[in-house]
Amino acid sequence: MSRLRLGPIVDEKPVKAAVELTGKLARDLADYAVAHAKENGLSEPLSIERLIPPMLERFVATDRGFAKARR
């Protein structure tokens, strides 16, 4: 099986944001959380709320178009 793109998650001071997810996306994120927990040796999966910020951070950091537009 391929490794997940998201590695261990570091705690950082959060900023509150509210988002609405489709049911399918919420289920997909819950499944991802289970796979992430297994791959990183966690006893329990992280909550969806805890998983979303590092996923978005990774997405923004690896978006070449965004990096180019930012310069």
- Dump pLDDT digits (tens) for 13-45: 888 889 999 999 999 999 999 999 999 999 999
Answer yes or no: is 60 within a domain.
Answer: yes
Whether 40 is in a domain gets the answer yes
pLDDT for 1 beyond 70: no
Q: Is residue 33 part of a domain?
A: yes
Structural domain count of the chain? 1
Stated pTM of the model: 0.77
Task: Indicate whether 45 belongs to any domain.
Answer: yes
Establish if 10 belongs to a structural domain.
no
In this structure, is residue 30 part of a structural domain? yes
Position 12 in a domain: no
| 54 part of a folded domain | yes
What range does the domain containing 41 cover? Answer: 23-70
Q: What are the distances in angstroms from CA 7 to CA 16, 18, 23, 26, 43? A: 23, 24, 25, 20, 15
